[in-house]
Amino acid sequence: MKVLGIVAGRHNGNSEILVKEALLACQAAGAECKLINLFDYNIEHCIGCECCTMAMGDVGMGKLDKYPGCVLKDKDDMEKIIKEMQTCNAIIVGVPVYDLAPSSLYLKFAQRFLAYELSFLLEIGEVKVDPHMVAGLIAVGGSCHDWMPFGLEVMAASMFTQSVQVVDQMLAQRNGRPGNVLLRDEQLERAKLMGENIIKAIQTPVEERGYLGEADFGMCPSCHSHLIYKGDPHWDGIQFPFECAVCGCGGDLVKDENGEYKFVLAENGHIRDRNINQARAEHLNEIVQTKIDFFKRQHTIQDKYAKYKEIKFPAI
């Protein structure tokens, strides 16, 4: 059992303490544990060149023999981290919430995952063994849930390209200064339980793994996110009354016998579930259709482009 702790908070900060507490439980169960703090690594931000996805498409269509990888691979530490991560059975991620959402350091890291999409690397044999990774996510904030509404949700959204199954999540609230969490024994206990849950998940056959956090955590019965919004038509006309902002499951809000709102999945509620490979493949179809339209209508784009390329406003 290999477990990697990933921290995006301050050295000796609250995120690091909670991840260490979870890792100690994994270690006690016999796992080999490593811990990285992203502040110690050089990580470039994704430049949006799309070279990775274009090359993946070309390899898929047989137009290109070898996947060249991320254009930034020799410029920073990302490849080293991802290569290690993709050999692990589990990751435990601790991230501070800044402005309601995960800190930019974490986002910079996670938004480089696309060039290392696990299912693609497995398909082309670059990664030999599917690690069937599971994750425990810890979002840490100085405030209560009302000031951390996108913390866990955005962290969970970053797991899809690495095919990571989130089996446990924790919101560590009211932790401001470094070490504040040491006043919160219940949070330290919860982090320990996360470590135990991670071990339980690793030791469960892949097909039988499920969510091990509190059953009533969040609104979505599938991924346990709190963010459910009123659905709009998708690119192909599919629409649900309400959708989960994280996994994309569709359903409706229904009041139960206690007058509490529940998000109840539709019969076909999983057709856009981003945790299901087939549903993600359908999204790829959407991207391909958008691209086909883009290339078909090049003359229109070029005609309109000139105006915007010529306009210059002063920078600062």
Ligand X SMILES: Cc1cc2nc3c(=O)[nH]c(=O)nc-3n(C[C@H](O)[C@H](O)[C@H](O)COP(=O)(O)O)c2cc1C
Site residues (CB under 6 A) for ligand X? 9-10, 13-16, 96-100, 140-143, 147-148, 175-176, 178
Provide the phi-psi class of 248: left if phi over 0, else alpha when psi is between -120 and 50, else beta.
Answer: left
Give the whole-angstrom CA distance, residue 92 versus residue 98. Answer: 19
| Cβ nearer to ligand X, comparing 20 with 224 | 20
CA distances from 179 to 54, 99, 140, 141, 148 (A): 45, 20, 12, 12, 19
Comparison of 3 and 148: residue with beta carbon closer to ligand X? 148
Closest to ligand X by CB, 25 or 139: 139
- Least gap, CB of 140 to ligand X (angstroms): 5
Nearer to ligand X, 16 or 153 (CB): 16
DSSP of 186-221 = HHHHHHHHHHHHHHHHHTS-GGG----S-TTSSS-T
Three-class SS state of 62: coil
Q: Least Å distance between CB 21 and ligand X?
A: 13
Residue nearest to ligand X (CB): 9
Please report, for the chain, how many H helices and E strands are present, in that order. Answer: 9, 10
Query: Closer to ligand X at the Cβ: 8 or 121?
Result: 8
Q: In the bound complex, what is the minimum distance in angstroms from residue 234's beta carbon to ligand X?
A: 31
Q: CB–CB of 18/24 below 8 Å?
A: no
- Minimum CB distance to ligand X smaller for 98 or for 217: 98
Residue 16 CA to residue 147 CA, distance in Å, equals: 20
**Tokens standing for residue 258:** 């206690």
The nearer residue to ligand X, 97 or 167, going by C-beta atoms, is: 97
- Starting at the earlier edge strand, list the strands of the sheet with 261-265: 228-230, 242-244, 250-255, 261-265
Nearest distance in Å: CB 69, ligand X: 31
Q: How far is the CB of 6 from ligand X (least distance, A)?
A: 12
- Please state the closest distance from residue 103 (CB atom) to ligand X, in A: 7
We find the least distance from the C-beta atom of residue 145 to ligand X, in angstroms, to be 9
Residue 230, C-beta contacts closer than 8 angstroms, at least 6 positions apart: 241, 242
